[in-house]
Chains A and B, each alone.
Chain A
Amino acid sequence: GESVGLHLPTLSVQEGDNSIINCAYSNSASDYFIWYKQESGKGPQFIIDIRSNMDKRQGQRVTVLLNKTVKHLSLQIAATQPGDSAVYFCAENSGGSNYKLTFGKGTLLTVNP
């Protein structure tokens, strides 16, 4: 079946560097994508979302890029800080009417001081 996946299970960066977390999706009918951050022992926290009619969306220190040609989604974090250390995962809505999301398994981001 179609699912959301991630290229890298772990990512380690230096404080101050930019981070890029990737996500591949296979369902061409998906029209909405969302990134979540989950710190250890906590519930997922909404970061940013994007619809399929957009290629890029920016938030505070974060940018989501959507490449529909290759079905690829990425989350860029600028000037990564120790507080950014967490698991990040993407999710997609495959266009159904009940607004269920399909989640990727996540990437662990570790920020080294």
Chain B
Amino acid sequence: DVKVTQSSRYLVKRTGEKVFLECVQDMDHENMFWYRQDPGLGLRLIYFSYDVKMKEKGDIPEGYSVSREKKERFSLILESASTNQTSMYLCASSQHDEETQYFGPGTRLLVL
């Protein structure tokens, strides 16, 4: 089975802090994705990556950056956290030639 893990289930941060969310997958998938999920808005794509050191902006990249130094790890960075970044953050991965994405358990981030 595909296993996608996220470093934290819950995080509480203060406005202006730099926040790192880590995601690791163990299936040697090329594609990795970061989404945020908000009530009434569904899943929105922040960034994705096709390969190591490759990244592309999704639909809502503002205020975020990413890092993919190793194939199995994809990090989401909030350079200066703001209250409107309070959300559920979901990481997913997929094989390079398949559309099926497998999700991690999510990180619920609260920015005070």
Contact = CB atoms under 8 A, between A and B. Distances in A.
B45 A100 contact: yes
Contacts of B94: 99
Interface string A36-68: 100001111110010000000000000000000
B105 A99 contact: no
Give the interface residue-count category, chain A: 20 to 34
A45 B103 contact: yes
Interface in A80-106: 89, 93, 98-101, 103-106
A89 B42 contact: yes
A99 B50 CA distance: 10
B103 A34 contact: no
A100 B104 CA distance: 17
Contacts of A89: 42-43
A51 B96 CA distance: 17
Interface in B15-52: 31, 33, 40-43, 45, 48, 50
A100 B43 contact: no
Interface string B89-106: 010001011111111111
Given A100-B48, A105-B40, A105-B41, A49 B104 contact: no
Nearest to A49: B100
A44 B42 contact: no
A34 B98 CA distance: 12
Given A100-B45, A105-B40, A46 B99 contact: no
Contacts of B97: 99
B79 interface: no
Contacts of A46: 100-102
A101 B102 contact: no
Interface of A: 32, 34, 36, 41-46, 49, 89, 93, 98-101, 103-106
